Amino acid sequence: MADTLIMKVDPGTLTSIAARLFEAGGLRKDDASVVAHDLVAANLRGLDSHGISRIPMYLERIEHGVVNPKPDITVQNVFPAVSLVDGDDGMGFLAGHRAIEEAVALAEKNGIGLVGVRRSTHYGMAALYVKDAIKKGYLSLAYTNSSPALPVWGSRTAFLGASPFAAGVPGGKEEVPYVLDMAMTVIARGKIRLAATHGESIASGLALDKEGAPTTDAAKAFEGVCLPFGGAKGSALAMLMDLLAGVLTGANYGGDVKSLYFDHSEPQNVGHLFIAIRPDLFVSKDEFEHRMDTFVKRAKALPKAQGFEEILIPGEPEENTAVERLETGIPLTEEVIQTLQETGTKYGVDIAGILREGALHS
């Protein structure tokens, strides 16, 4: 059964906890703050599988020396509109933000910016980076590879990553932006991990066990392979992610990205690829914004299917959740609280005391 909800905590309190833990784990103060904000941003959007529950795992990877806590991230401009970022095996969040920043800067000069990243690590919620671009008024695409989690279609062996794909399009003057963030699996692998941690079962059709048999046991599923969404189509898209983010950039690829959870033998060398696009390439910025407002209004005014009260644009449900959680707090389960407290004890951070101060509901 799932853990019982114990309390709701102010997002600022959770950010403070995460930042202090990462700084205690060796990150520079500013870098710890970036990673903390990114994890809490996932919690705010309802993606708890990519939020603060991952802190112990990230710290463990730093302890084992497979993540560099103080990376020297470098940028090499290889063509007028193309750069390569070397993440120096640091936290993927840091390389990801640096890369999308560079892509936007290139797009500002050239209309479009393409940035590859190698020697990175898991970079969390992919929406983080397209939202960075949206804040600056740019369209963007974000590709990444990841450790083997799903099979090439027809195989039973994990070879391709769940590799989330993200895309962002700024909204107009009145309507919401478009924010797509989706894994190549039927559901995110992190959600299966969360279910396994809670001793929960999962729906059929999501995964195979390590013997290649369908399973609803989350723990067996996590040891086995996730299934791609859309069958062969999802598998083909996962393959494309590895080709663009791995093969093209010089990062690990083809099953070589080390497991985030189980392999501490060497750095992951994850690859990412970012594309930023100016909104005024073909029409003026004002015209682009008008067209976006018109598009969203038309979409939301369409006749609703049975069971739907509202038509939402991709990213809008998560933003609605973020608005609610900013007001009411981020829910924490008993398991997450216990894990944070154990981690705090290890790193000399009084988690219980901080949580008491930041608790909104219990």
What percent of the chain shows pLDDT beyond 70? 98
Residue 3 has a pLDDT of 57
Q: Is 127 a residue whose pLDDT tops 50?
A: yes
* Token reading at 9: 């905590």
Task: For residue 77, give the amino acid letter.
Answer: N
Give the integer Cα–Cα distance in Å for 207 and 220: 9
Q: What residues contact residue 237 under an 8 Å CB cut-off, 6+ apart?
A: 165, 184, 228
Q: Considering only 52-61, 192-201, 241-250, 332-341, which range has the smallest mean pLDDT?
A: 192-201
Residue 362 has a pLDDT of 47
Grade residue 185 by pLDDT with cuts at 50, 70 and 90.
confident
pLDDT digits (tens, 9 = 90+) for 204-215: 888 888 888 899
Q: Which residue has the higher pLDDT, 280 or 158?
A: 280
Residue 196 has a pLDDT of 86
Residue 4 has a pLDDT of 66
Q: Considering only 2-11, 93-102, 263-272, 306-315, which range has the smallest mean pLDDT?
A: 2-11
Rounded mean pLDDT, 9-14: 95
Q: What is the pTM of this model?
A: 0.92
Grade residue 1 by pLDDT with cuts at 50, 70 and 90.
very low
Residue 361 has a pLDDT of 54
DSSP string, 316-352: HHHHHHHHHHHHH-EEEEHHHHHHHHHHHHHHT--HH
pLDDT digits (tens, 9 = 90+) for 327-349: 999 999 988 999 999 999 999 99
Residue 197 has a pLDDT of 78
Give the integer Cα–Cα distance in Å for 352 and 340: 9
Residue 199 has a pLDDT of 83
Instruction: State the pairing for strand pair 207-208/178-182.
Output: unpaired
Give the integer Cα–Cα distance in Å for 318 and 221: 26
Residue 360 has a pLDDT of 75
Rounded mean pLDDT, 316-322: 98
Please name the residue ranges forming H helices in the chain. Answer: 11-24, 29-44, 55-63, 92-110, 127-135, 189-198, 218-223, 232-242, 285-300, 316-328, 334-347, 351-358
